[in-house]
Amino acid sequence: MAIIFFSSDASGEQVRKNLQTELPDLPIWNWQETDTATRQSARYAIAWNPPEDFFDGLDNLQAIFSVAAGVDHLLDHPSLPPEVPLARLEDAGMADKIAEYVLYGVLHAQRSFDHYRSKQALQEWDNSDREVHAADTTVGILGLGTIGRVVAKRLVSNNYHVKGWSRSQKTVEGIDFHAGTEGLPGFLDNLDTLVCLLPLTPDTHGIINKQLLEQLANGTFLINAARGKHVDTAALLEALESGKLRGALLDVTDPEPLPGNHPLWSHPAVLITPHVAGPTQMQESVRQIAANIKRAEAGSELTGLVDRVRGY
């Protein structure tokens, strides 16, 4: 019996070694070093951005584990075995980091740092009154999963009025919650900042499009810390130029990374970070994956199971 591992990330080999320490009785093989017999004996696969032929010969898998919270890299894989359970990381320390990132973006807009940044470029000392209190600022969060709930609580604790939206009804203390297609217009109404924390699924691909942006109040600020493909880039640029959006903080883009001379690089109202809002925390990720494999070995139900239809 073996575990097959692959990661396209530079830290992949250290992740494998740490997993081996957590699971000393289960051999963990780098996919590139396996032969046909080893692949046939594999019960578990752990992967991040695996190549197209990764699942070839892995005919006896009992579970597949993602090395990160996002699973679109596996759901989009052409050879993902449809009958094998797929598990994602549920948080692994990323939620607190993303909450910090979002709080920074919300403060950036609420305290008018975008305005002062533009005045600095003009060498203008403008301290005219632009005071807006947190309690008078409404932040809307698209996506109320494990990470979205942590972000919402952080914003509530900082006195913001928080609205949340997801496909299905949920209860999150302290926020104004909206669900489903019918709840989206009420959620979008009168926001100061819109935050995207959705998983990327066929239903959420391009969800922040021209139609959605037109429902926002003029001057809304956008934060995307999810996936670049949630946003229609052409519609985003149009909304920035028209003033529908006052600005955007983008940790992800479409395409990613942006090519040279892309208009988002130089747009004065856009802040871009290189997909660093919620870096995977190695030790916690390793702990979660190892604990899940131990559950599987004991015959217990896995945590973080992905609904293939919903995409998370």
Set 275, 287, 295, 308: catalytic member: 275
> What are 207-236's pLDDT values in tens digits?
999 999 999 999 999 999 999 999 999 999
Length of the chain: 312
Exposure string over 20-49, b if 16+ CB within 10 A, otherwise e: bebbeebebbebeebeeebbebbbbbbbbb
pLDDT of residue 157: 97
307/31: higher pLDDT: 31
Question: For residue 30, which phi and psi values (nearest 5 degrees)?
Answer: -65, 130
Stretch 182-206: mean pLDDT, rounded? 96
User: What pLDDT band is residue 130 in, cutting at 50, 70 and 90?
Assistant: confident
User: What pLDDT band is residue 173 in, cutting at 50, 70 and 90?
Assistant: confident
Is residue 151 over pLDDT 80?
yes
User: What pLDDT band is residue 281 in, cutting at 50, 70 and 90?
Assistant: confident
pLDDT of residue 66: 94
Is residue 311 over pLDDT 80?
no
> What are 72-113's pLDDT values in tens digits?
889 999 999 999 999 998 877 799 999 999 999 999 999 999
Q: How many helices (DSSP H) and strands (DSSP E) are in the chain?
A: 11, 12
Set 16, 88, 178, 227: catalytic member: 227
How many angstroms separate the CA atoms of 115 and 112, rounded? 5
Is residue 7 over pLDDT 80?
yes
Task: Let me know: does 58 contact 45? Beta carbons within 8 Å.
Answer: yes
User: What pLDDT band is residue 34 in, cutting at 50, 70 and 90?
Assistant: very high
Is residue 309 over pLDDT 80?
no
186: Cβ–Cβ under 8 A, 6 or more apart, which residues?
A: 178
Domains along the sequence of the chain with CATH: 2-92+281-297 (3.40.50.720), 94-272 (3.40.50.720)
275 as an active site residue: the answer is: yes
pLDDT of residue 231: 98
172/22: higher pLDDT: 22
Is residue 200 over pLDDT 80?
yes
Q: Which of 25, 66, 2, 24 is nearest to 285 (CA)?
A: 66
